[in-house]
Structure 1
Amino acid sequence: MRIGILGNGGMAEALGRHWVQAGHEVLVGGRDLSRAAETAERIGATSGSLQEATSYGEVVLLAVPAEVVVEAVTRLSIAPGTVLIDCTNAIEHSDFTLAQPAVAEAISEAVPHAQVVKAFNLAADTVWRAAPHVFEGGPLGVPLCGDEPAAVERVAGLVRDIGCEPVPSGGLVRAALLEATAAFAIGIWVTGGDVRGLFTPLGAA
């Protein structure tokens, strides 16, 4: 599969490296072409502009800051049916609330001809960089929210490529819940809490 990546930061490098190793063709795009080239060289990908990454393949990872992602996709020419993976979180770090709710839905409204899937937003780039992980005997689950089953399944395959387990989590309207979950969880983690202890196992009395 051909995968374009918008951005050249930690998420771009962490996920892009796994996908290259899985045999996918990856192009890293950035406003700063030299930085994009450096990231691409580290992971064995090719590089180019943001538009070149957008036009490169069937799937595009939106690995740019949440505060600029809607503006970025609005300015770029995105082919109908392109799968956009939104891994962003618009978190206000002063109190770990949402600085901007429903980012994934805003992306979909800006480019309605694309197929947006929310994924990879519940963990930092360091987690994805060190994947795969096993917790309590099972792989790390990655929730996916999207309205197009074929798009969700395509992203599910990319989740499996990094050794994780895709968890279909409903339509794009539920992506806002994923974004809120990330803000909530990060707020607990920074105070030393363990989020895993907040949810009872299925079937627990």
Structure 2
Amino acid sequence: MRIGILGTGGMADALGTQWRRAGHEVLAGGRSGAVSLEEAAEFGTDAVLLALPYPAVVEVVSGLQDALRGRVLVDCVNAVTAPGFTLTTAAGPSVAERIAVAAPTAHVVKAFNLCHADVWRLTPPVFEGRPLAVPLCGDDAGALDVVRRLVREIGCDPLYAGGVDRAGLVEATAALLIRLWVGEGADAQAIAPPVPYAWGRG
């Protein structure tokens, strides 16, 4: 696949490296540097990863509408601020919904937003024999299939979490997990029981 990446930071590097290792062609672009954001968007004929700070995403995506037309647009952006690790979009649409409005002809899929960039550098992200699960939110079946493949190719399990209208729940989960991990030093996994015990001991 040909994958464009909007951004050159940690998430762009971590996921881009994994996808190159899987045999894909990857081109990352930024606001300054040898490759522009537009060039990266145009390159990503199979998928485009949006890996920019939240304050910039709507403006950037709005300016790239033509380049993003028909593209699978993978959104890994969180709108979480410190201190307090608060969700800045809590009173309105989610990041993914705002992106979908800014680029109405792209196929937005929320994914990869629950973990730090260094987690995505693990080869593979498997813990005590269990692959990391990656929730996906999207409305286009073909786009979801593309992102499921990208998830599996880094050794993780894709989990369909609903349409873009459910992305706010995944983004709020990121705010909660970051608060527990960073703010409390807690094992966030401990808040949920294993599947056999999800409804009690039955």
TM norm structure 1: 0.90
Percentage identity across paired residues of the two chains: 54
**Distance in 1 separating the partners of 2:73 and 2:176:** 25
Structure 1 position 126, deviation (Å): 0.6
**Distance in 2 separating the partners of 1:27 and 1:110:** 22
Write out per-residue CA displacement over residues 163-185 of structure 1, whole angstroms, 9 at most, x where no aligned residue.
11111111111100000000001
Answer whether contact 2:68 2:103 (CA < 8 A) is retained.
no
Structure 1 position 202, deviation (Å): 1.4
Counterpart secondary structure, 2:137:
strand
Structure 1 position 131, deviation (Å): 3.4
Counterpart among 42, 54, 72 of residue 66 in structure 1:
54
Aligned residues: 192
Structure 1 position 145, deviation (Å): 0.5
Structure 1 position 81, deviation (Å): 1.6
Runs of 4+ in 1 over 6 A off after TM superposition: none
**Distance in 2 separating the partners of 1:137 and 1:70:** 38
135-144 or 167-176, which deviates more = 135-144
Q: Does 1:202 align with 2:195?
A: yes
**Distance in 2 separating the partners of 1:99 and 1:92:** 7
Q: Which amino acid in the other structure matches residue 198 of structure 1?
A: I
Query: Structure 2 stretches of 5 or more lacking a match?
Result: none
Query: Structure 1 stretches of 5 or more lacking a match?
Result: 35-47
Q: Does 1:4 align with 2:4?
A: yes
Counterpart among 67, 74, 94 of residue 85 in structure 1:
74
Write out per-residue CA displacement over residues 33-53 of structure 1, whole angstroms, 9 at most, x where no aligned residue.
15xxxxxxxxxxxxx211000
Write out per-residue CA displacement over residues 142-171 of structure 1, whole angstroms, 9 at most, x where no aligned residue.
111000111011001001111111111111
Counterpart among 15, 37, 47 of residue 50 in structure 1:
37
**Distance in 2 separating the partners of 1:79 and 1:94:** 34
Q: Which residue of 2 aligns with 1:21?
A: 21
Q: Does 1:143 align with 2:135?
A: yes
**Distance in 1 separating the partners of 2:115 and 2:68:** 29
Write out per-residue CA displacement over residues 54-99 of structure 1, whole angstroms, 9 at most, x where no aligned residue.
1112210001101111110001133432010000100021111111
TM norm structure 2: 0.92
7-16 or 135-144, which deviates more = 135-144
